[in-house]
Chain A
Amino acid sequence: MSIPLAKRDWNGNDVLHLYYQMWLIRLFDEKVDEMFAKGLIHGTTHLCVGQEATPVAACAALMKTDKITSTHRGHGHCIAKGADVSKMMAELMGRVTGYCKGKGGSMHIADLEEGNLGANGIVGGGIPIAVGAALTSNMMKENYVVLCFFGDGATNEGSFHEALNLAAIWDLPVIFFCENNQYGMSGSVKEMFRIQDIADRAVAYGMPGHVVDGNDLEAVYDVVACAVARARSGAGPSLIEAKTYRWKGHSKSDGRKYRTREEETAWKAKDPIARFKSRLIDEGIATEEQLNDIQARAKMEIERAVSFAENSPYPTLEMLEEDVYAH
Chain B
Amino acid sequence: MREITYQEAIREAMSQVMREDERVFILGEDIGVYGGAFGVTRGMIEEFGPERVRNTPISEAAIAGAAIGAALTGMRPIMELQFSDFVTIAMDQLVNQAAKIRYMYGGKASVPMVVRAPGGSGTGAAAQHSQSLEAWLAHVPGLKVVQPANAYDAKGLLKAAIDDNNPVIFYEHKLLYSTKADVPEELYSIPLGQADIKRAGSDVTLVSTGIMVQKSLTAADLLAKDGIQVEIIDPRTLVPLDIKTIVSSVKRTGRCAVVYEAVKRGGYGAEIASLVAESEAFDFLDAPIIRLGGKEVPIPQSPELERHAVPQVEDIVEAIRNMMQKA
Q: Which residues of A contact B (CB under 8 A)?
A: 67, 69, 98-104, 108, 110, 112, 117-118, 120-122, 125, 127-137, 139-140, 146, 158-159, 162-163, 165-166, 169-170, 322-327
Measured between alpha carbons, how far is A130 from B65 in the docked complex, in Å? 8
B8-61 with Cβ < 8 A to chain A: 23, 25, 51-52, 54, 56-57, 59, 61
Q: Could you say which residues of chain B place their CB within 8 Å of the CB of A120? A: 97
Q: Which residues of B contact A (CB under 8 A)?
A: 23, 25, 51-52, 54, 56-57, 59, 61-75, 77, 92-93, 96-97, 101-110, 112, 141-142, 144, 165-166
The answer on a CB contact under 8 Å between A326 and B62 is no
Q: Could you say which residues of chain A place their CB within 8 Å of the CB of B57? A: 162, 165-166, 169
The answer on a CB contact under 8 Å between B62 and A131 is yes
Q: Could you say which residues of chain B place their CB within 8 Å of the CB of A133? A: 69-70, 72-73
Q: Chain B's nearest CB lies how many Å from the CB of A55?
A: 20
A-B contact pairs, 24 of them (CB 8 A): A100-B106, A102-B106, A110-B108, A120-B97, A122-B97, A127-B65, A128-B68, A129-B68, A130-B69, A131-B65, A135-B66, A136-B74, A140-B74, A140-B75, A158-B61, A159-B65, A162-B62, A163-B62, A166-B62, A169-B57, A323-B103, A323-B107, A324-B103, A326-B110
Q: Could you say which residues of chain B place their CB within 8 Å of the CB of A323? A: 102-103, 106-107
The 3 closest A-B pairs by CB, nearest first: A132-B69, A128-B65, A323-B107
Task: Given A136-B73, A136-B74, A169-B57, answer yes or no on A100-B104 (Cβ-Cβ < 8 Å).
Answer: yes
The answer on a CB contact under 8 Å between B97 and A125 is yes
Interface centre among B54, B71, B72, B166 (most CB of A within 10 A): B72
Q: Could you say which residues of chain A place their CB within 8 Å of the CB of B67? A: 132
Interface centre among B54, B108, B144 (most CB of A within 10 A): B108
The answer on a CB contact under 8 Å between B74 and A104 is no
Task: Given A125-B93, A166-B59, A326-B166, answer yes or no on A132-B105 (Cβ-Cβ < 8 Å).
Answer: no
Measured between alpha carbons, how far is A121 from B68 in the docked complex, in Å? 16
Q: Chain A's nearest CB lies how many Å from the CB of B235?
A: 18
Q: Which chain A residue shows the least CB distance to B74?
A: A136
Q: Chain B's nearest CB lies how many Å from the CB of A189?
A: 23
Q: Could you say which residues of chain A place their CB within 8 Å of the CB of B142? A: 324-325
**Besides A100-B106, A132-B69, A162-B59, 19 other A-B contacts (C-beta < 8 A):** A104-B105, A104-B106, A110-B109, A112-B109, A128-B69, A129-B93, A132-B65, A132-B71, A132-B77, A133-B72, A133-B73, A135-B75, A137-B73, A163-B62, A163-B66, A166-B57, A323-B103, A324-B142, A325-B144
The answer on a CB contact under 8 Å between A131 and B108 is no
Q: Which chain B residue shows the least CB distance to A146?
A: B69
The answer on a CB contact under 8 Å between B104 and A327 is no
Q: Could you say which residues of chain B place their CB within 8 Å of the CB of A121? A: 96
Measured between alpha carbons, how far is A57 from B42 in the docked complex, in Å? 47
Q: Which chain B residue shows the least CB distance to A110?
A: B105
The answer on a CB contact under 8 Å between B104 and A104 is yes
Q: Could you say which residues of chain B place their CB within 8 Å of the CB of A135? A: 66, 69-70, 75
Measured between alpha carbons, how far is A147 from B166 in the docked complex, in Å? 25
Q: Which chain B residue shows the least CB distance to A323?
A: B107
The answer on a CB contact under 8 Å between B69 and A117 is yes
Contact of B101 among A67, A118, A162, A169 (CB under 8 A): A118
Q: Could you say which residues of chain B place their CB within 8 Å of the CB of A117? A: 69, 72-73
Measured between alpha carbons, how far is A159 from B69 in the docked complex, in Å? 14
Q: Could you say which residues of chain A place their CB within 8 Å of the CB of B108? A: 99-100, 110, 112
Contact of A118 among B105, B107, B165 (CB under 8 A): B105
Interface centre among B56, B66, B110 (most CB of A within 10 A): B66
Q: Could you say which residues of chain A place their CB within 8 Å of the CB of B74? A: 136, 140
Measured between alpha carbons, how far is A108 from B104 in the docked complex, in Å? 6
Contact of A325 among B64, B73, B92, B102 (CB under 8 A): B102
Measured between alpha carbons, how far is A289 from B107 in the docked complex, in Å? 44
Q: Could you say which residues of chain B place their CB within 8 Å of the CB of A132? A: 65-73, 77
Measured between alpha carbons, how far is A125 from B107 in the docked complex, in Å? 20
Task: Given A117-B72, A133-B70, A166-B59, answer yes or no on A324-B92 (Cβ-Cβ < 8 Å).
Answer: no
Contact of A139 among B25, B68, B93 (CB under 8 A): B25
Q: Could you say which residues of chain A place their CB within 8 Å of the CB of B166? A: 325-326
The answer on a CB contact under 8 Å between B75 and A136 is yes
Contact of B75 among A122, A139, A325 (CB under 8 A): A139
Q: Chain B's nearest CB lies how many Å from the CB of A79?
A: 18
Q: Could you say which residues of chain A place their CB within 8 Å of the CB of B65? A: 125, 127-129, 131-132, 159, 162-163
Q: Could you say which residues of chain A place their CB within 8 Å of the CB of B77? A: 132
Q: Chain A's nearest CB lies how many Å from the CB of B194?
A: 16
Q: Could you say which residues of chain A place their CB within 8 Å of the CB of B73? A: 67, 117, 132-133, 136-137
The answer on a CB contact under 8 Å between B102 and A165 is no
Q: Chain A's nearest CB lies how many Å from the CB of B148?
A: 20
Q: Chain A's nearest CB lies how many Å from the CB of B297?
A: 29
Measured between alpha carbons, how far is A135 from B109 in the docked complex, in Å? 18
The answer on a CB contact under 8 Å between B104 and A103 is yes
Measured between alpha carbons, how far is A315 from B110 in the docked complex, in Å? 20
Q: Chain B's nearest CB lies how many Å from the CB of A220?
A: 24
The answer on a CB contact under 8 Å between B165 and A327 is yes
Measured between alpha carbons, how far is A147 from B200 in the docked complex, in Å? 57
Q: Could you say which residues of chain B place their CB within 8 Å of the CB of A166? A: 56-57, 59, 62-63, 66
Measured between alpha carbons, how far is A108 from B144 in the docked complex, in Å? 22
Task: Given A100-B104, A165-B62, answer yes or no on A159-B70 (Cβ-Cβ < 8 Å).
Answer: no
Measured between alpha carbons, how far is A325 from B101 in the docked complex, in Å? 10
The answer on a CB contact under 8 Å between B102 and A136 is no
The answer on a CB contact under 8 Å between A129 and B69 is yes
